[in-house]
Chains A and B, each alone.
Chain A
């Protein structure tokens, strides 16, 4: 196996190693600076890389990041897009198990809930949960907030969010036919869902 030439910019660093001076660099992901200190330290194991800042930011120092050599266990963060499977549908909310965050799957599922007012953007008080989701549907949602102790708050109130894949009562994977309907290919039955525009 040919070892690629590792220049100084992409050397392996371990937590606690000094990456540079805070006067010259800004800490990005995987790095931190001590308040009142001079140095930027690494907080992960991985490769050190330097990014140029976006031209419109007020602080023009380059950003130093440590990209983990191993997929850091992903945790849902507000604003991230997740894939979840609906567990239960109730009158005012649906509970779902978050299985993927972004493009990475989680090792152990997290609990999320989609409240009635977060299902879609229009006419939010007239939402019927049972016409939007059923148990077992795979939905794409975005994390609104950390929620409470039990579950993250999810939202499907965008065109590209909503049911991505669902099974009909007959057991076949349904095909979306409109924003609010999906049809079973074997029985022809049409069922109501909040469909995501893929």
Chain B
């Protein structure tokens, strides 16, 4: 039973939206400094974050995180033996994989996109893990995005560092990540999918809050140096706040397991 919708020749699968015309009107208003974000947040306000560790019992460590509607689950296996084909190494190895479920985005997709997220996650985490503590072995990090609603990769990075801490892998510090999107004169933190799709540029910072070190910085688009400074300061202060939330989640989880063991 085919439902007829005028003007949507692009998708042949059923899509639950029907208000595509109103979205196109909103796009024209974005450069307006009086523009209000779709969910009513301020420009520099992030969505509330929720973290929980110990979601996957089969894994050595795992974590589940939500940032508004974006939902991510990460499992960590290891340290376990490297594959036979790998050469000997004095330090441990990190292997990251980020995949999307087919139902993560509004339009069903095959899940083979975003291959570069795996290498970005690897670069963000490898600076924070003490690889010398597990020589010759590999730690596998598998991230699954259950629902994607903007700011996916920063949430994946934060959730992965919680899962690593849950697995007992030695780290220099937790890694928190926040991304920021640039629309004309406005810098908005933690963009939604619609805001990301027509941004002028983006900046993602992965940051270790207690060590005050940036492990990775990804910038797309055209930026002047002063804007980069401004954007980085915004992101770093948001990362520090996120770091506090993550630490309290870890301590709560640790205190609960301690109570049940006593």
Contacts and interface: CB of A to CB of B under 8 A. Distances in A.
A4 B257 contact: no
Nearest to A2: B262
Contacts, number: 98
Nearest to B88: A149
Given A16-B174, A149-B84, A149-B87, A75 B168 contact: no
Given A17-B210, A70-B257, A149-B88, A43 B81 contact: no
Interface residues of B, number: 41
A14 interface: yes
A149 B130 contact: no
A35 B194 CA distance: 46
A8 to B, nearest CB: 15
B173 A41 contact: yes
Nearest to B134: A75
Interface string A145-158: 01011100000000
Interface string A26-48: 00001010000000010111110
A107 B80 contact: yes
A69 B262 CA distance: 12
Interface string B68-105: 00000000011111101011100000000000000000
Contact of B173 (A16, A111, A148): A16
Q: Is the interface of A mostly helix, strand, loop or mixed?
A: loop
B250 interface: yes
A176 to B, nearest CB: 31
Contact of B250 (A32, A45, A75, A148): A45
Interface in B188-213: 208-211
A108 B139 CA distance: 12
B165 A14 contact: yes
Interface in A35-65: 41, 43-47
Nearest to A148: B88
A32 B87 contact: no
Contacts of B247: 14, 17
B87 to A, nearest CB: 6
A192 B78 CA distance: 37
A12 B172 contact: no
B107 interface: no
Nearest to B59: A107
Given A12-B254, A14-B247, A45-B250, A149 B82 contact: yes
Contact of A73 (B79, B84, B86, B87): B79
Nearest to A66: B170
Interface string B124-137: 00000010011111
Contacts of A109: 81
B168 A73 contact: yes
A69 B170 contact: no
B167 interface: yes
Contacts of B116: none
Nearest to B135: A146
Interface in B49-63: 60-61
A107 B130 contact: no
A198 interface: no
B171 interface: yes
A26 to B, nearest CB: 17
A43 B77 CA distance: 18
10 contacts: A1-B259, A15-B165, A47-B258, A72-B169, A73-B78, A75-B79, A75-B134, A107-B60, A110-B137, A149-B136
Interface of B: 60-61, 77-82, 84, 86-88, 130, 133-137, 165-174, 208-211, 247, 250-251, 254-255, 257-259, 262
Query: 9 shortest A-B CB distances, which residue pairs?
Result: A16-B173, A72-B168, A16-B210, A149-B88, A43-B170, A69-B254, A15-B171, A108-B80, A12-B251
